[in-house]
Amino acid sequence: MRNKHPLIRYLERIASEEQRSPGALAVLRRGLALPPGTDAAVFPHVVPYLTENEQRYLFAEFCLTASLFGLHPHCTDEGNMGSHMRLAAGESTDATERRFTALLRAHREDLHHHLRQAVSFLGSKHVPVNWARLCWDILDWSHMNGRVQKAWARGFWGSYPTQDEEKNQNEE
């Protein structure tokens, strides 16, 4: 995977024990009350870390990532939402599987609702999130071959990626 995006490094910093900023995390969480990219209170926590093109074309997706982070700022460098949901499910996978399947089916315009529920669920189970991976996955959600959804499905239901799929994931 690519190096961590500057926004992710910032988010991890404000959640760290050394520099924890409960106020900033609260502002980010409140960003979930509005459509992604529309809460001006979130902007100071996102804009400084984006390029001009990212601000122009991907602003809502980065705001969504930051706001979700405010909801559950526990980080890992491993896995994806599929593997996180599998871990959170434990022995009772039926309800989690239904929730996860709805997430995989989500259209881009509804993704923020499903991700908010998923991240909240992960928080309730104390399962950390690979925020760097989630950020790139949100940005790539609408890719025509559904590679994000397929990778998450493998993470949840447990098959191994082919060499080509693994190479594509690592190049991102």
At 43, is the pLDDT very low, low, confident or very high (cuts 50, 70, 90)? Answer: very high
Distance of CA 142 to the CA centre of its chain: 15
Digit-coded pLDDT (tens) for 8-36 = 999 999 999 888 889 999 999 999 999 99
Average pLDDT for 54-74: 97
Give the closest residue to 74 by CA, choosing from 23, 138, 127, 120. Answer: 127
Residues 6+ apart with CB under 8 A from 38: 60, 63
Looking at residue 19, its pLDDT comes to 86
Digit-coded pLDDT (tens) for 104-120 = 999 999 999 999 999 99
Give the closest residue to 157 by CA, choosing from 76, 79, 69, 97. Answer: 97
Other CB atoms within a 10 A radius of the CB of residue 139 amount to: 19
Q: Is residue 86 over pLDDT 80?
A: yes
d(CA 43, CA 162): 39
The predicted model scores a pTM of: 0.88
Look up the CATH architecture of domain 6-171.
Answer: Orthogonal Bundle (1.10)
Q: Is residue 68 over pLDDT 80?
A: yes
Handedness of CA 52, 53, 57, 62 (dihedral sign): negative
